[in-house]
Structure 1
Amino acid sequence: MISADTPTTDGMRIFPNNTAFNIAVTTNSPNADTVIWSVADANGATKTQGSFAVKSGVQTATMSCKSTWSGYGSITATLQSNGGTLPNMGTRPMGIATFGVLPNLTSVLGTVTYAHQDQHRFGMQGFNDNIAALHDLGISWTIDDREVSAMEPNGPNTYTPSVSDLDPFYKAHPDQMRIVRLDGLPAWDSKTGQFNDSYYAPVNMTEFQNFMGRVGTDTSLIRAANYPTQQNNYYQVTWEPSLGWADSQANFVAMYKAAYLGLHSTDPNAIVMGPTNPFPANCDTCTTGYLQTFGALGLWNYIDAVSTHGYWNAGTYPSHPPELQDSDPNPANQANALDNLMSQLRSVMQAGKPNMKLFVTEAGTSYDPGINYGPTSPSQNQLFAQAAVGVRSHIITLGGGAQVSTFFYGADYPGETGYGTFFDLNDAQGAYGASNLSPKPEALAFATLTRVLDGTNTLGRVTGTAAGTYAYAFQQLGNGKVVTAVWAHSNAQWPASGGLYSQTYSTSYSLQVDAAGASGNVTEIDGYGNVSTVPYTNGKVTLTLTEVPQYIVSSNATVAKSNATVPVGYTGQ
């Protein structure tokens, strides 16, 4: 009886700030009626509302809008007399149609100059060929396939490197850099006689090393032709090997040795990374566990950097956010908090091979267990919580010493519910490669995060914060402005058993932004890119923190550095 949309030609339903866009409402009322409509933000607060008359039959009314507010918009609409609600579409529940308004923060943050393209800090999985999505989200890194299984599926020595051996997407959009993926063996090179995701070493190790030399040649040519300011090429050898590694420990190291020697034989700018396990630390099958086990067998000699996935051991969904264990009196549970996992990982890296780069090449937040795609789920509260938890996890990984953090995933997909940053409007269970999308709150929280923290170096976690308060400091490249990401988390307001997460919980926090005795103003950017000016006195600004991060822009880097601890082994971008 009633539907609504904010149509765009790129399928994203995301708009620049202060730029006109349309909300189209289509009705099929049995008689003349009145449409009652509203737009709410990610917190469920009404931003605007109204009504208009419609005739009977199929009618489409278009409202022209312009928003100076940034963030996620959720449209609701019904007929005053005949009722009805907006229909369920794909993975988006009934009752809402969603859109986004991007923040414009140039006047606040200025423009950062990058000496090297690979100083950018944000990657994405799930949107490899969707440049509109990548630009909306502020992404600079995606993962490109160069596995044996992709390049030599039918036999050895069938792949010839070439500068033209590049997906046209990358050639057309050289702002998107490649993390070169190397896991995956075809049947002819597999000990199982069928494809395996590098859970066994290759049958033909000599050919594997030769193949990696050709990948190095290929990547060097591509970088020179398409990425002239990119300093290095980045190669990820394995992908979550702890989920299935079935070969010997010696063969794991031998596989890395072959990859390392092959790549470095032809690519002087190669950065070979691994082992890329799901969790950063605190278990034998985590990234630290593999680094320690295989490092003792020589693995440190065959990696230039560490790659990991950024999940935390207790489950990556709203009811178990990354900080949930911090206030747990059990030290074993505290160790599973993501900030502690990052600290453990950095320490193990430093002991094994000092000052290495760290790439988090996947980290996502699903819906809570038991929530499925459907007409009545997810709820507004679940979407609010996913955004809050998702953005906090990436701040923690960057603040904990990762050079790059990678969002997972583009749109909803089948099999694992809710990891998508966007709803898929065509497919009830989601689909890989979906292109008819509408954003979740997480998409706009991510878009704000990238615009605020890309082009920064990590200063580290702010010292002396009270329990339940989190603050990480960053500084723009070229000794620019200081940005401090701050939020609060309360286990009591965030039930581990699921339920309603508090959207109103807050606590007061005093952040030092200048020297003692100084007064002035700082800029506050909320979690969705809306800007306000906040005064400070005696060098400190009083803030009201919530479960959604906010960002404080200040200028006294000396004070920020003295009050933060740089992660062990982190040497900047």
Structure 2
Amino acid sequence: MERTNAYSPIDHSKTPHRHLTSSVRLRPTVARVGLGAAIAGAVAMLAACGGSGGASSGTSSAAGQTNSTSITPIVAAGGEALTCGAPSAPTNAASTSGDAVEADTPGSDGSRTFALGSNFQIALTTRTSQSDTLAWQVRDNWNVVRASGTVPVQSGAHSVTLDCSSTLAGYFAISATLAKESSQLPARGTRPAGVATFGVRPDVSATLPAASFARQDQHRFGGQGANYLIAGQTCCSGDGYRPLYADLGLAWANDNRNWYMEEPNGPNTFVPGTGTLAPYFRNGDISRLIQLDGIPGWASPTGAQTLGYAPASESAFQDYASRVGTDSALIRAAYFPNQAKNYYQITWEPDGGGSTKWLDSDANLVAMYAAAYTGLHSTDPNAVVMGVTAAILRTNTQWLARLAPLGLAQYLDGLTVHGYYDAGTSPSHPPERLATDPDPATAANALPASMRELRSAMAKYLKPGAKLFATETGISYDTGATYGSSYPTQDILFAQGAVVARTHLILLGEGADMTYVFYSSDSPDDTPGYGLFFDLSSANGSYGSSNISPKPAAMAVAAMTRIVDGTSTIGYLNGVPAGVYGYAFQRLGGGKIVTALWTHNNAVWSASAGFSASYSVPYTLQVDDDGTSGQVTVLDAMGNAASMPYSNGRITLSLTEAPLYVVSANAAVAKANATVPTGYVAQ
């Protein structure tokens, strides 16, 4: 397999994240950090990888069209629909200059997503030199037309609105074409030509009432990236997490207490206290993962700021960590009283290239962790010290095995990992790509196998009940792709959404306690497309954009979080045939069972041949005792529900590449048919 640079460089200093209330000093988000040539060792593990896929920008049709057979969503059969009324009388457009055709959905919270069942408008603007007819359509994640119509167009610049409502949740793409001029919607930022997108957020409360969280830190989804959607805000002042994270269902974010940020010019300038907490964390609804990676130049053995070396004085770092512990304990008491612990991530992608690569000795890395552990625990009785946060998932296992005999394990209360599993995590490189390879050494690199290996290492080296946080995993476009007017296509967007959901379901189902999605919107990363949202402000992507619109991935995440958050993992399903993947979860407090299921076949999933939405395999899932019959609820990848019958305790499903979720009640049956991840302790 050709090696690719999947882990493109995003400098620590490039992504605005927060500011201190006391000094209005901009603080960077710790974003994707490049691995560069440093992943060569890990990529060598994949050198013999099989399966389909590869680096290609694809040859599929435009984003609003598809060459593959359109299919109805797996569920979407419970009477859900998107409806739009007759167009309004035309009014003069706000501007006479602009594109021939424009479409948008004004009136959202800034995310261009809407609550299920709410009323919203589609605004259509034309600028023509003659009378014409505008044909419009709204298609869903599966490219099915959900609404359509025509509008007579007068010459000049005019706008009409459609009053719409939807009981169908998910991703939607508007297309609009003038008959005579053959004009279509232009590209906007990273969004390709031909579509304007919006989303309808799912409401699964009728099937899964809101979970009861005994502790704030029982939430299972977090994210990286901020977007300033509140009117009047721009990057990077204000709150870049709201309303975005609530819309997506994310409840964790990084909070920087890095030494090189807090004390860049000398020691003892960081003063602990609740005033250090950024205003957007003060609602207490987004838990903090506290970052401690990086050493200021004055404390560095090289004389320069570094993430690759231990500090010149371990005692100085221990003292700083003790003050961070005091800070966190005060903040937790004031703003997070329902959070059981404070969580600290000590290093960031030490296996990476660029500034994060660990260049110091193993002994010094262990000594640095010892200083952090001792300092944090001396002042924060609820500290959970975590690392090493290698970028490639299997590298975390290798580093733990190498460093545990040197004493690292005694300074870890848990592991933080980044979940990158392949030389490029993209539609063409899904997490199951290598799972069916006949070579066991190659198959071991598939994400499910890599997670099982990691959980076994944790059980061997770490204390019982150690937490496992996957604090970054993103799915980009395929390596070699670029943002453009004809890219990505509809089937690539469908594939990305499916792979994003599957990746995080595997991470949780194989024993991660919590997982971060990456990234909120398209960024100027060398490998493009990590964003759950298009960035409409820049053709190359940007950080902190205030003008975004959803991809299918955003709405797949919004559904997954509402269905799976508030659960504990039961485990992976036993005895599934090759190509079928299934994970069972149980709602907190002994509640309902949620089983996530899908299939994957490399033969129908590649940039060259397309990403099939119609490929399916039958699968029978046991949901109840033998001899019983009844109904269960099945939700599709966008969170649309339908009631389906089962008999003899079993339901027959048609699995596709897009996950579905089966909600049932018999926990004993679910637990009998699944394997708990090694060492995993239910919440």
User: Scaled by the length of structure 1, what TM-score is found?
Assistant: 0.98
2:540 counterpart of 1:441: no
- Superposition deviation, residue 194 in structure 1: 2.0
Indicate the residue corresponding to 1:249 in structure 2.
362
Q: Which moved more, 1:389-398 or 1:497-506?
A: 497-506
2:249 counterpart of 1:150: no
For 1:558, which of 668, 671, 676 is the aligned residue? 668
Indicate the residue corresponding to 1:409 in structure 2.
519
2:220 touches 2:566 (CA, 8 Å); kept in 1? yes
2:451 touches 2:507 (CA, 8 Å); kept in 1? yes
2:175 counterpart of 1:81: no
- Superposition deviation, residue 293 in structure 1: 0.9
2:168 counterpart of 1:57: no
Distance 1:192 1:22 in 2: 58
CA distance change for structure 1 residues 255 and 13 in 2, over 3 Å: closer, same or farther? same
Indicate the residue corresponding to 2:241 in structure 1.
130
Distance 1:341 1:395 in 2: 14
Q: Secondary structure at the match of 1:568?
A: coil
Distance 1:12 1:435 in 2: 9
Distance 2:678 2:608 in 1: 35
Q: Secondary structure at the match of 1:508?
A: strand
Indicate the residue corresponding to 1:375 in structure 2.
485
2:442 counterpart of 1:333: yes
Indicate the residue corresponding to 1:194 in structure 2.
304
- What per-residue deviation string (whole Å, max 9, x for no partner) do you get for residues 199-223 of structure 1? 1001222111100000000000000
Distance 1:437 1:358 in 2: 32
Q: Secondary structure at the match of 1:94?
A: coil
Letter in 1 for 2:347: T
Q: Secondary structure at the match of 1:296?
A: helix
- What per-residue deviation string (whole Å, max 9, x for no partner) do you get for residues 341-370 of structure 1? 100000000000233110000000000112
2:419 counterpart of 1:310: yes
Q: Secondary structure at the match of 1:66?
A: strand
2:186 touches 2:194 (CA, 8 Å); kept in 1? yes
2:374 counterpart of 1:275: no
Letter in 2 for 1:341: S
2:107 touches 2:121 (CA, 8 Å); kept in 1? no
Q: Secondary structure at the match of 2:523?
A: coil
- Superposition deviation, residue 7 in structure 1: 2.0
Letter in 1 for 2:159: T
1:157 touches 1:207 (CA, 8 Å); kept in 2? no
For 1:387, which of 497, 501, 505 is the aligned residue? 497
Letter in 2 for 1:254: A
2:404 counterpart of 1:295: yes
2:424 touches 2:478 (CA, 8 Å); kept in 1? no
- What per-residue deviation string (whole Å, max 9, x for no partner) do you get for residues 115-151 of structure 1? 1111110000002722111011001100000000111
CA RMSD of aligned residues (A): 1.0
- Superposition deviation, residue 499 in structure 1: 3.8
Distance 2:240 2:129 in 1: 44
Q: Secondary structure at the match of 1:124?
A: strand
Distance 1:222 1:130 in 2: 19
For 1:343, which of 452, 458, 461 is the aligned residue? 452
1:368 touches 1:498 (CA, 8 Å); kept in 2? no
Distance 1:498 1:315 in 2: 16
- Superposition deviation, residue 9 in structure 1: 5.4
Indicate the residue corresponding to 1:479 in structure 2.
590
Distance 1:413 1:44 in 2: 26
- Superposition deviation, residue 538 in structure 1: 0.3
1:32 touches 1:54 (CA, 8 Å); kept in 2? yes
- Superposition deviation, residue 29 in structure 1: 1.1
How many matched pairs? 566
Letter in 2 for 1:463: N
1:364 touches 1:407 (CA, 8 Å); kept in 2? yes
Indicate the residue corresponding to 1:6 in structure 2.
105
- What per-residue deviation string (whole Å, max 9, x for no partner) do you get for residues 173-229 of structure 1? 311110001102222122232222x21001222111100000000000000000111
Q: Secondary structure at the match of 1:457?
A: strand
2:130 counterpart of 1:31: yes
Q: Secondary structure at the match of 1:106?
A: coil
Indicate the residue corresponding to 2:378 in structure 1.
265
Distance 1:327 1:418 in 2: 27
- Superposition deviation, residue 111 in structure 1: 2.1
For 2:579, which of 468, 471, 488 is the aligned residue? 468
Indicate the residue corresponding to 2:28 in structure 1.
none
Indicate the residue corresponding to 1:214 in structure 2.
323
Distance 1:157 1:10 in 2: 42
2:108 touches 2:114 (CA, 8 Å); kept in 1? no
Q: Secondary structure at the match of 2:264?
A: coil
Letter in 2 for 1:380: Q
Letter in 2 for 1:117: Q
Indicate the residue corresponding to 2:210 in structure 1.
111
- Superposition deviation, residue 112 in structure 1: 1.4
Letter in 1 for 2:446: A
- Superposition deviation, residue 379 in structure 1: 0.7
Distance 1:9 1:551 in 2: 28
- Superposition deviation, residue 560 in structure 1: 0.3
CA distance change for structure 1 residues 113 and 41 in 2, over 3 Å: closer, same or farther? same
Letter in 1 for 2:259: V
Indicate the residue corresponding to 1:360 in structure 2.
470
Letter in 2 for 1:493: V
Indicate the residue corresponding to 1:453 in structure 2.
564
- What per-residue deviation string (whole Å, max 9, x for no partner) do you get for residues 306-365 of structure 1? 110111034211111100111110111100110001000000000002331100000000
Q: Secondary structure at the match of 2:481?
A: coil
Letter in 2 for 1:248: S
Letter in 1 for 2:141: A
For 2:541, which of 399, 407, 430 is the aligned residue? 430
Q: Secondary structure at the match of 2:582?
A: strand
Q: Which moved more, 1:519-528 or 1:153-162?
A: 153-162
1:163 touches 1:218 (CA, 8 Å); kept in 2? yes
Larger RCO (alpha carbons 8 Å, 6+ apart): 2
1:365 touches 1:390 (CA, 8 Å); kept in 2? yes
Q: Secondary structure at the match of 1:261?
A: helix
Distance 1:361 1:453 in 2: 17
Indicate the residue corresponding to 1:229 in structure 2.
338
1:482-493 maps to which residues of 2 (within 5 A)? 482-493=593-604
Structure 1: 5+ residue runs without aligned partners? none
Letter in 1 for 2:382: N
- Superposition deviation, residue 492 in structure 1: 1.2
- Superposition deviation, residue 503 in structure 1: 1.4
Distance 1:264 1:17 in 2: 45
Distance 1:246 1:314 in 2: 23
Letter in 1 for 2:676: V
- Superposition deviation, residue 242 in structure 1: 1.2
Distance 1:193 1:325 in 2: 44
Distance 1:142 1:247 in 2: 29
Distance 1:499 1:60 in 2: 40
Indicate the residue corresponding to 2:276 in structure 1.
165
Q: Secondary structure at the match of 2:560?
A: helix
Indicate the residue corresponding to 1:95 in structure 2.
194
2:424 touches 2:479 (CA, 8 Å); kept in 1? no
Letter in 2 for 1:523: T
Distance 1:193 1:65 in 2: 61
Indicate the residue corresponding to 2:13 in structure 1.
none
Q: Secondary structure at the match of 1:369?
A: coil
Distance 1:121 1:170 in 2: 17
- Superposition deviation, residue 498 in structure 1: 4.2
1:161 touches 1:218 (CA, 8 Å); kept in 2? yes
